[in-house]
Structure 1
Amino acid sequence: MTRTRGRVAALLGAVAVITATTLATPSASFAAAGSDRGGGGITGWAPCPDAPEFSCGTLTVPLDHSGATPGTLDLTVAVTGNTAAPRGDLLFLTGGPGQPGVPTIPRMASKLEPVLKDYRLVMFDQRGTGAHALQCPGLQEDMGSSDLAVPRRQSVADCAAALGPNARYYSTADTVADIDRLREALGDRRLTLDGVSYGTFVAERYALAHPAHVARLVLDSVASPQGLDPLDLAALPATARVLRAACRATGCTTDPAADLAATVRRYGDGAKILSALTGYEFIDPDFGGVPEILHEAASGQPAKLQDFFDLVHREVDAAPAEELSQGLHSAALCADSRFPWGTTDTPVAGRAAALERTRQRLTAEQTWPYDPATATGLGSLLVCLDWPRERVPPAPPAHRKLPNVPVLLLGGDRDLATPYELIHQTAELAHDPEIVIVPGAAHSVQNRAANPAGRQAVYDFLLR
C-alpha cells in the first residue's frame, strides 16, 4: 500500500505504512519437508521463488472431489523449516475469498515467530487464487479487492461466461476437501487452524466437516460459519458505533453517524459509502478526516466525499487477480451463500422480485445510519443476483456446534468488514470460547493491528 498523495492527502492526513520484516527461518531440506512429516503427496519441494528461506511444493487435487468431472488442479504449498515441530502443523488461512497464501508466508511467519519453535507454519494458495487465479478482467477492474463495490452487470455476465460450468467447483466446500488432502499429504492426524476473515469461515467449515482432524482454532476477524449475510445487517448498524468510537479517539466535534445518515438520505449512495469506509479502515482505523467529510456532505458539500471514494479505490481496492481474484470471490460467494431469493440454484428470473420484497420489509432500525436500499445494493449481493443458476453444495445444519476443541475468537473494535458482533454470534457455536477484542484495531488483527494485545493473545493460546 502506498501513501496518499496530493489534495486528498491534505484532506485525510498522512497514511502510515508498516513494512513487515522477513523472519529468517532456516529452509527445510526437501527430503525433510516431504518425508519426515509424511508429505509425500506434495511434489517438487524447492526453495520458494520469492522467499527462499521457505520451502514450496505442489499439491495436486481433483477439480471435482466427487470424481464425476475429470481434471486436476495444482495448489502451491509453502512451509517454514521446523519439520520436527512438537505441536505439529499450523495452517494459516488467508481471506477474500480470492487471496493467495504463499506470497504472504514471510509476513505471517514474522507475525507468528514466537510460536514457530513449537509449530511448523503451513500456507497454501487456495484453488482459483495466486498464480492460478481465476481471471475476470472487467469484474477485477470494477471491484479490485472490495467485497462491496458495485460492479457493472456486463462485468458479471462476462465473468460467469469466462468461468463457465466449472465455476461450481470453486466453493468453500471444495477448499475444505483440498485442506483434508493437504493434511494427509503433510502426514498430520490433526491440524491447528488460524484463519483471518474469510479464512475463519474456511476454518469453521473444515472443523464442521472434519471435527476429528482439528486440534484448535484461531479465528481472527470472524465470519459466521453459517455464511455471508449478503445484506450485511451486522455492519450497517455497527458503522455508527465504529465511527463514534473513532471520533472520540480523535477528538472530533461532530456526530459522524448522524451525518452519515443525512448524507445517505441526501445522495442515496449508502452502498458506496459503506464500501469506502470498509476499505479505509485498512489505511486508518481511527478514520481520520472522515467525520469532517461526512459533515460537509450532509450539509450539501460532497466534493471531499468524492475525493474519499477516489482515494479508497486507488489506494486500497485496486488489486490484480493474483492478489485477490474477483472471479474466485464471486464463484465462491455465489456457491456458498443464501440470498433473499434462496441459493444460486434458484432460477434467475425471480431473483430481482424477491430482492425487492426484502427491501420493502427492511426497517430503519435494521439499517440505520444507512437505508434499506443500501442493504440490497451491495456489490457482493449484486454479483450473485445475475449469476447463472448452478447446483450448490449442501451447507451444514444451522447452529451446529463447532468441535469441542480450544477456540480463540479475535477481533478489533474498529472492524467494519467483520464487526465484533459476529464474534459473539459465532461464540455461541463453540464449547468454551475465548474472546479477545482489541481496542483501536480494525480488520485482520494479527496482521495489521498496532496494538500488540491480539497477537499476544494468539501466542498465549497456541502455546498453552
Structure 2
Amino acid sequence: MMRRTLAAVACAALTVTMLQSPVAAAAAADHGPRLSDAKPCDGQPGFTCATLTVPLDHRGRTPGRLELRVAYADNANAKRGVLLALAGGPGQAGLRFDTFKRALAPVLDDHQLVMIDQRGTGVEGALDCPQLQAERGILDYDVPTPAAVRECARSVGSKRQFFATADTVDDLELLRRALGAKKWTIDGISYGTYVASRYAIKHPSRVKKLVLDSVVPHTNLDAFVPEMLHANARVLREACAATGCTTDPAADLAAVVRATDLGPQLLNTISVYGIVDPNYSGLPQMLAAARAGNLAPIQGLIDGVFQATRGPADDHSQGLMLSTLCAEERFPWGNSATPEFLRQPLLDAASRRLAPEKLWPFDQETAKNHGIMHLCLPYPRTAVRPVAQPYKLPPVPALLLAGTRDLSTPVEWARWQLSRTPRGELVVLEGFGHSVQSRTTDDRGRKAVEAFLDRG
C-alpha cells in the first residue's frame, strides 16, 4: 500500500500551449492523445509543462474528462528515451521537480524525465476533503473519524469509483502515446512502485525497465500489515545497536502497546519518524520511559509528528487516498461493495484469528484499528472495477530497492516482490530508510539505479 515523503514540495501553477517538439509532432500525426497548453515550466529551466486530457471513465460508460498536469524535460532526443517518475501516496502530487532531479541526477543526461500529477492529485486536480485532510494531513496510518470519511465520500460523489490505480494506469498509457514513446522506463517510489507494476502487467511490451524504490507488492497485500508490524522489532533493535543505546526498544514498545491504547498512534508515528531519521534517534529512550510509566515524552513525539505532517490536499490528497485504497484494496470484510453492517463483525472475527507472534511487538488491536483499516471501514458502498491479479510480474527487467530501516514499506515486502519478479534484482541498503534514491545524501541507491539503467 502505499506510501510518501514528509516534506511538502511546492510546485508553481503549471498548465499551458503545446510546443511543437518532435514528440508533440509524433503524437499529433496519429491523431491520438495529445499534450496541450504547453509552455516553459515556471522556475524550472529545461522543462516544459502541459496538460493531458483523459476520460473520467476509460470504459466510456460515464461522461466527463479530467485534465492532468504533466512536465517533461526538453531533451526529447535523449539516447535512452523517456523515464517516467512516479510519486507515492496514493495522493501525492507528481510534479516534484527537486525530488526527482536529485534522485535521478546520474541518469538525466541520457533520459528524458517525465512527471505527472496523477488523477485526483496536484495543484489543480486534488480531491480536497477539508475535514479528512485536517485529521490525516500527509500520513497513512492516522485514524480518521467515520464522519470525516463519509463527508469526503459524499463530497467526491459517485465519481469516486474512477480514482483507482487501474484508472491511473490507463491515463499513463495515454501519456505514453501523447509523448510518442514506443517504450519507456518507469521509476516509482513507494505507491509509485505499485502503479509501475500494475502498468507493466497491463502493458508489458511498452516497458523497457522498472525501478521499484521502497516496494509495495503488486498483489496480495494483507490489510492487517503484519509484516510492517513485526518489522518494528527488527528495525528498532538494528537502529539501537547502531547508535549504541542500551535498552531493548522492541520489548519496551510491546509493553507500552499492551499497557495503553497507543498502538495505532505509535505505528503511525514510528513509521513516519523513520522517514525523517532512519536512526530513530531518541525513540528507544522515549519507549523505555513510557514502559516505566512516564508517557509524556512519547506522547510529545506523537503530537509533534501529527502537527508537523499537516499538509494541503494539493501536496498529498487524502480524498484521493480514500478513493483509491477503499475502492481497490482487499480487506477482512472483502471490498467496498460489501454492505457496511457486515464489515465490523467480519473485521473482528478475522483479527481474532491473527497469530500474535507474527504481529509482535504490536498486537491484534493495533492490526485491527490502524488508520488504513478505519479509513475504509465506514466508506460507503461503491462499485469496484475488477482487475487482473497475476501471481508474477511480466518478464521486464526490474531493479528493486529497499532500506533495512524502512517501516513504511519494509524490506520484507521487497523480498516477497522479488520472488514474483522473473527478471528482478534486489539491492538492500543497510541503514537506509524510505525512498532510498531521494531521502539520503548517501548515493549508493542512485548509483545502483545508474548501473541498472546503463545496462543494455
TM-score by length of 1: 0.91
1:343 aligned residue: 335
Q: How many residues align?
A: 439
- Counterpart AA for 1:410: L
SS at match of 1:205: helix
1:328 aligned residue: 320
1:404 aligned residue: 395
Counterpart CA distance in 2 for 1:18 and 1:450 is 16
**What are the residue-to-residue correspondences of 1:110-125 with 2, within 5 Å?**
110-125=102-117
Pick aligned residue for 1:166 from 136, 142, 159: 159
The reply to whether residue 106 of structure 1 matches residue 98 of structure 2 is: yes
**What are the residue-to-residue correspondences of 1:9-408 with 2, within 5 Å?**
30-32=19-21, 34-35=23-24, 38=27, 41-102=34-95, 104-131=96-123, 132-226=125-219, 228-315=221-308, 317-399=309-391, 401-408=392-399
Q: Which runs of 5 or more structure 1 residues have no equivalent in the other structure?
A: 1-16, 23-28
Deviates more, 1:158-167 or 1:48-57: 48-57
* 1:232 positional shift: 1.1
* 1:432 positional shift: 2.4
Deviates more, 1:32-41 or 1:245-254: 32-41
SS at match of 1:253: coil
- Counterpart AA for 1:331: S
Counterpart CA distance in 2 for 1:405 and 1:279 is 32
SS at match of 2:321: helix
Counterpart CA distance in 1 for 2:339 and 2:43 is 45
Deviates more, 1:29-38 or 1:318-327: 29-38
Query: Kindly tell me: are residues 381 and 94 of structure 1, through their superposed partners in 2, closer, same or farther at Cα, counting changes over 3 Å?
Result: same
Counterpart CA distance in 1 for 2:341 and 2:331 is 14
* 1:52 positional shift: 4.1
* 1:447 positional shift: 0.8
Contact 2:8–2:311, Cα closer than 8 Å, also in 1: no
* 1:449 positional shift: 2.3
Query: Kindly tell me: are residues 279 and 262 of structure 1, through their superposed partners in 2, closer, same or farther at Cα, counting changes over 3 Å?
Result: same
Query: Kindly tell me: are residues 415 and 438 of structure 1, through their superposed partners in 2, closer, same or farther at Cα, counting changes over 3 Å?
Result: same
1:9 aligned residue: none
SS at match of 1:235: helix
Query: Kindly tell me: are residues 460 and 414 of structure 1, through their superposed partners in 2, closer, same or farther at Cα, counting changes over 3 Å?
Result: same
Contact 2:24–2:178, Cα closer than 8 Å, also in 1: no
Contact 2:24–2:35, Cα closer than 8 Å, also in 1: no
Q: Which runs of 5 or more structure 2 residues have no equivalent in the other structure?
A: 1-5, 12-17
Contact 2:133–2:311, Cα closer than 8 Å, also in 1: yes
Counterpart CA distance in 2 for 1:97 and 1:283 is 19
2:15 aligned residue: none
Query: What are the superposed Cα offsets for residues 348-379 of structure 1, whole Å, 9 maximum, x if unpaired?
Result: 11000000001211121121001101001011
2:431 aligned residue: 440
Deviates more, 1:72-81 or 1:432-441: 432-441
Identical residues among aligned pairs (%)? 45
Counterpart CA distance in 1 for 2:268 and 2:173 is 34
Query: What are the superposed Cα offsets for residues 233-279 of structure 1, whole Å, 9 maximum, x if unpaired?
Result: 11000000000010011100000000000000111211100100011
Deviates more, 1:360-369 or 1:327-336: 360-369
2:408 aligned residue: 417
* 1:381 positional shift: 1.1
1:12 aligned residue: none
Query: Kindly tell me: are residues 38 and 339 of structure 1, through their superposed partners in 2, closer, same or farther at Cα, counting changes over 3 Å?
Result: same
SS at match of 2:84: strand
Contact 1:438–1:451, Cα closer than 8 Å, also in 2: no
* 1:311 positional shift: 1.6
- Counterpart AA for 1:190: K
1:26 aligned residue: none
- Counterpart AA for 2:110: D
- Counterpart AA for 2:162: Y
* 1:107 positional shift: 3.0
Counterpart CA distance in 2 for 1:33 and 1:179 is 19
Counterpart CA distance in 1 for 2:430 and 2:440 is 9
SS at match of 2:432: coil
Counterpart CA distance in 2 for 1:227 and 1:197 is 16
Query: Kindly tell me: are residues 451 and 227 of structure 1, through their superposed partners in 2, closer, same or farther at Cα, counting changes over 3 Å?
Result: farther
Displaced runs of 4 or more, over 6 A:
17-20
Contact 1:37–1:188, Cα closer than 8 Å, also in 2: no
Counterpart CA distance in 1 for 2:43 and 2:368 is 42
Contact 1:227–1:337, Cα closer than 8 Å, also in 2: no
Query: Kindly tell me: are residues 156 and 444 of structure 1, through their superposed partners in 2, closer, same or farther at Cα, counting changes over 3 Å?
Result: same
Contact 1:201–1:222, Cα closer than 8 Å, also in 2: yes
CA RMSD of aligned residues (A): 1.9
* 1:212 positional shift: 1.1
Contact 1:37–1:83, Cα closer than 8 Å, also in 2: no
